[in-house]
Amino acid sequence: MSIVFFEELARSGIGGLPLAMLVQTEMVPPPILQFGTEEQKQKYLAPILKGEKIACLGITEPNAGSDVASIQTRAVREGDRWIINGRKIFITNGVRADFILLVAKTEPSKGHQGFSLFFVDKRTPGFTVSRKLKKVGMACSDTAELLFEDCRVPAENLLGEENKGFYQIMWELQGERLFGAVGAVAGAQYAFERALAYARKRIQFGRPICEFQVIAHKLVDMATEIEAARQLIYATTWKVAQGEYPVKEISMCKLVAAQVSCRVADAALQIHGGYGYMMEYPVQRTWRDVRLNRIGGGTDEIMKEVIARSLGI
């Protein structure tokens, strides 16, 4: 159902909308459902599902992107409170979110085994949205830098087990990457359809440009790459639905879909010619939006590292 949902959202032509919804429906809720107490589910999960609260996920930091283990945000227990200090960046929904699901170090000496997850409400003293970031694309999706200065949160705001946050968040990332791949292919499909429609109506040298072999073959390549990526995603989704945990295949989906979306969007803009570079044509928006696919949720390079390890390399 979620796959279909994100495929159809792409038809809006607005990349930032599915991105914001991805956080709201597929990134923050799963860890709460999997690891949260009943009280946490009622306080945070139920309002998300009802559309009463907006959520964001705080992982990336200025000096810790793909290397999640390098996170420096620190949470120290003091009585019935956790004192949090640190900074997060590139946080989708961060400006307007009602709460953040935050990754912080609770036991630095334990490395990967020293991270925990916390709920931090927007009005908590010491929690500040330091700035709204300006991006190349995804313009309607707000992205923030967040600051935590002696931010005091109740002890019951710990999600799941203390020092198990790294494993909980890595589990969550697999769903994020799979749905990111879905969005990338759906965005590519949207760009392809716009390019095909334009090529059919654009007349040059007395005939539609789609009748020229150079354009026809470009469209064929676009359609073929999209379908190949889509079928890989569907096959991987089937494995997930069967209860499997196919990290290698999910990483392949993310890698292939992201690259295909960029190639297709660039080809779609090229088919539009000079008009494609004009702001009045929607293909330029897709071209700008899809570039994030190769960065967000794990870069191409990180996906290749994950796949390489899965192959025993």
Give the residue numbers annotated as catalytic, written as ranges: 176
Which phi and psi (to 5°) does residue 248 adopt? Answer: -60, -50
Q: What are phi and psi of 188, to 5 degrees?
A: -65, -40
* 135 contacts: CB under 8 Å, gap ≥ 6: 143, 292
Q: What are phi and psi for residue 311, nearest 5 degrees?
A: -90, 0
Helices (H), the chain: 2-9, 16-22, 29-35, 38-40, 46-50, 165-201, 213-241, 247-272, 283-289, 300-310
**Residue 35 and residue 167: Cα distance in Å, rounded?**
11
Checking DSSP bridges between strand 99-105 and strand 158-159, what pairing results, if any? unpaired
Backbone angles phi, psi at 91, to 5 degrees: -90, 110
Distances (CA, A) of 299 to 118, 213, 295, 302: 25, 35, 4, 5
